[in-house]
Amino acid sequence: MNTKIVLGIVALVVLVVAVIGFVNIFGSPSTIGDVVKTTNTENVKEFVMESFYDENGIWFSLKDISVSKGDIVRIKVTNIKGHHDFVIDEYGIKKDTPLNEEVIIEFTADKAGEFIYYCSVPGHRQKGQWGTLRVIE
């Protein structure tokens, strides 16, 4: 067999092994749009809720969220009835929640205290569509 071909195959194998090793050591972040999701899930706190209304009021299915300061907070909101959004003023979050679509809100809880999350559609917060985010030091 030609020595150049053998050397080329050896170089290709070494390159593939190096790339696989690099990915295993440093990880491979996934992206959605321009938001980079971290591969370190050690301090990620994930919550799932629905947004809806019924004959008794307008609601988020989850009324309380508690995390530690420094945690990455991931909230998955699915609007199952009506028109809603999700707002936390102190964190500068305001996300529309289209009907029957899961919306992911992710941020670092870098402020301690109690913060209200709510729907800013007129009248919704007043009719019960709000909850409390507690960030503990």
What does the pLDDT read at residue 9?
73
In which element (H, E) is residue 87 found? Answer: strand 84-88
What does the pLDDT read at residue 62?
95
What does the pLDDT read at residue 23?
46
Mean pLDDT in each 10-residue stretch from start to end of the chain (137 residues)? 71 61 46 39 88 91 96 97 96 96 97 97 95 97
Backbone angles phi, psi at 21, to 5 degrees: -65, -40
Q: Note the pTM of the prediction, 2 decimals.
A: 0.68
**Residue 130, Cβ density class (10 Å: 0-12 exposed, 13-18 middle, ≥19 buried):** middle
What does the pLDDT read at residue 14?
64
C-alpha to C-alpha distance for 82 and 77, rounded to whole angstroms: 13
User: How many CA atoms, within 13 angstroms, populate the side-chain half-sphere of residue 62?
Assistant: 17
What does the pLDDT read at residue 44?
94
Residue 80, CA distances (Å) to 15, 25, 38 in order? 49, 41, 28
Contact 82, 58 (CB under 8 A): yes
Contact 14, 24 (CB under 8 A): no
Given strand 102-108, what is the order of strands in its sheet? 57-60, 44-54, 72-79, 102-108
